[in-house]
């Protein structure tokens, strides 16, 4: 097929900003050629006045929609009163945040952090400490099992157990203590567990890998193996959690409960970096004062924003809407041109199109979608991720399907 150029004509202001980014910024991102300036619900506008349906949601950080007025109100109100104390002192937003988050997720303990990667790093530390002090693993011998094609962040320890060459190349040496097994293969997980295994870290659906859904029963099998072998099951729900898949947490699709659950992104509705590690008392109970912390983790502004973000998620029926509109959107995507689209897959509003490898790659199609007012992003060359905010309505879903049909045929 014909391909559109990587860039397009812009206003002088947009071009000036693009030039400054190229000159002064580190080149660790290659964004789609669009300069956004405003957002509302599922819509965003660029500096040149074009309007788009956001089908990425900042990788599920804006599940509640752009600039949700109730979250904004909570943020402004708290910012006028108190923003940061550090955890050297108590503040009046932390206890309500704990209480409401535990009630929502049926958790017993919360460790508040900022970014998703910090939540993952915290869970790894906690799992090792639990292994030594509770399970009785010999010092420095703890093993954590992870999956191939995983994505848990960009820190040194995390990229050390990644299978993505771009994430690893020239960032070593890496820390040890990790084993990789194929995703979705319960037999491989069983074979990898040893007496020194303290945890299995896994995404319920692999997001960055291309919205890869494991075989039915895989998480149940993982839960059973971890229970039998006294291994912590750590579910990274930073992308899948908080309604994205049509359930509050993706673990609910298989009726299981993890030992540690990691949430972030939509925990603030896109207003502020907020993440958390959730667990039963036994696991997070291994942490003692001075052993772990964060200057900004659990700060008053973060807690107030997260409380509002959780409240609107439930009160406005966003989780149920994700299931309903996700099914409608997936049905529309499954009708796209079979000569180009090999598969449409997903759960809730966490969806992907897998293109035939002879279709010329996903990037040209992403640019065509952009020019029809749809913003999404390719991953792994042949896959397009589609994840609009959970507030999308039926008319907007149907309009989006029309744009996809115009690009891919039906």
pLDDT in tens, 47-102: 999 999 999 999 999 999 999 999 999 999 999 999 999 999 999 999 999 999 99
196 plus 333 within the same structural domain: no
CATH number at residue 93: 3.40.640.10
Q: How many percent of the chain have pLDDT more than 70?
A: 98
Does pLDDT of 374 surpass 70?
Answer: yes
Q: Does the annotation mark 164 as catalytic?
A: no
Q: Record the tokens describing residue 350, joined without a space.
A: 């966490």
> How far is the C-alpha of 380 from the C-alpha of 382, rounded, in Å?
6
Inside any domain, residue 12: no
pLDDT digits (tens, 9 = 90+) for 303-347: 999 999 999 999 999 999 999 999 999 999 999 999 999 999 999
Is the separation of the CB atoms in 268 and 309 below 8 Å?
Answer: yes
- 307 and 326 inside one domain: no
* Same-domain pairing of 49 and 118: no
Examine the pLDDT at 5 and tell me if it is beyond 80.
no
Q: Tell me what pLDDT residue 3 has.
A: 54
pLDDT of residue 1: 44
C-alpha separations of 145 from 16, 127, 196, 219, 297 in Å = 47, 11, 11, 14, 27
pLDDT tens-digit readout, 65-77: 999 999 999 999 9
On whether both 248 and 160 belong to a single domain, the answer is yes
Task: Give the end of a domain, one of 315, 343, 376.
Answer: 315
Check if 371 is active-site: no
DSSP 205-268: SBTTTTSBPPPTTHHHHHHHHHHHTT-EEEEE-TTTTTTTTSSSSGGGGGT---SEEEE-GGGG
User: Exactly one of 129, 236, 365, 404 is catalytic; which is it?
Assistant: 236
Q: What is the mean pLDDT of the chain?
A: 96
Place of tokens 């509640």: 64
**What is the span of the domain harbouring residue 373?**
30-60+317-408
Q: Do 196 and 324 share a structural domain?
A: no
In a domain, 141, yes or no: yes
326 and 284 within one domain: no
Task: Compute φ and ψ for 68, nearest 5 degrees.
Answer: -60, 125
Output the pTM of the full model.
0.96
Q: Domain for residue 24, yes or no?
A: no
pLDDT of amino acid 4: 59
- The pLDDT of residue 9 is 85
Mean pLDDT of 179-206: 98
CB atoms within 10 A of CB 405: 15
CA distance 340 to 329: 18
Q: What is the pLDDT of residues 230-250, one digit of tens each?
A: 999 999 999 999 999 999 999
Task: Please tell me the total count of domains within the chain.
Answer: 2
82 plus 214 within the same structural domain: yes
Tell me, yes or no, whether 98 and 225 share the same domain: yes
Beta carbons of 408 and 337 less than 8 angstroms apart: yes
Q: Is residue 298 located within the same domain as residue 234? A: yes
Distance CA 148, CA 170 (A): 19
Let me know if residue 25 belongs to a domain: no
Q: What is the pLDDT of residues 19-32, one digit of tens each?
A: 999 999 999 999 99
Domain identity same for 250 and 374: no
Exactly one of 129, 247, 265, 363 is catalytic; which is it? 265
* d(C-alpha 143, C-alpha 132), whole Å: 11
3-state secondary structure of 183: coil
Q: Which residue in 46, 54, 97, 151 is the catalytic one?
A: 151
Is 236 an active-site residue? yes
* The pLDDT value given to residue 388: 98
């Amino acid at each position: 097929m014909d391909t559109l150029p990587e860039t397009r004509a812009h206003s002088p202001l947009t071009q000036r900003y693009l030039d400054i980014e190229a000159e002064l910024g580190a080149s660790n991102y290659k964004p789609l050629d669009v300069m956004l300036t405003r957002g509302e619900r599922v819509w965003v506008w660029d500096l040149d006045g074009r309007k788009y349906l956001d089908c990425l949601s900042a990788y599920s950080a804006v599940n509640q929609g752009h600039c949700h007025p109730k979250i904004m109100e909570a943020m402004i109100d708290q910012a006028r009163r108190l923003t940061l104390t550090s955890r050297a002192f108590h503040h009046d937003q932390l206890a309500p945040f704990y209480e409401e988050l535990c009630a929502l997720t049926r958790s017993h303990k919360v460790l508040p952090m900022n970014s998703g990667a910090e939540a993952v790093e915290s869970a790894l530390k906690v799992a090792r400490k639990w292994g030594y002090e509770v399970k009785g693993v010999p010092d420095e011998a703890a093993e954590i099992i992870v999956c191939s094609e995983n994505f848990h962040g960009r820190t040194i320890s995390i990229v050390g157990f990644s299978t993505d060459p771009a994430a690893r190349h020239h960032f070593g040496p890496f820390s040890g203590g990790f084993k990789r097994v194929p995703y979705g293969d319960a037999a491989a997980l069983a074979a990898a567990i040893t007496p020194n295994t303290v945890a299995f870290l896994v995404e319920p659906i692999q997001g960055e890998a291309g919205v890869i859904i494991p075989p039915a029963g895989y998480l149940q099998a993982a839960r059973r193996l971890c229970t039998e072998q006294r291994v912590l099951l750590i579910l990274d729900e930073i992308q899948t959690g908080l309604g994205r898949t049509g359930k509050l947490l993706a673990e609910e699709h298989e009726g299981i409960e993890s030992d540690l659950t990691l949430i972030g992104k939509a925990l603030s509705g896109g207003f502020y970096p907020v993440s958390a590690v959730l667990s039963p008392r036994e696991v997070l109970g291994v942490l003692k004062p001075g052993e772990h912390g964060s200057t900004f983790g659990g700060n008053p502004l973060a807690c107030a924003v997260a409380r509002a973000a959780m409240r609107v998620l439930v009160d406005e029926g966003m989780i149920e809407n994700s299931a309903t509109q996700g099914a409608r959107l997936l049905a529309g995507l499954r009708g796209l041109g079979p000569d180009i689209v090999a598969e449409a897959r997903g759960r809730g509003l966490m969806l992907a199109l897998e293109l035939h490898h002879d279709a010329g790659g996903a990037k040209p199609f992403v640019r065509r979608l952009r020019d029809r007012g749809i913003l999404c992003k390719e991953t792994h060359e042949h896959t397009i991720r589609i994840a609009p905010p959970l507030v999308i309505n039926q008319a907007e879903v149907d309009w989006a399907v029309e744009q996809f049909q115009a690009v891919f045929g039906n």
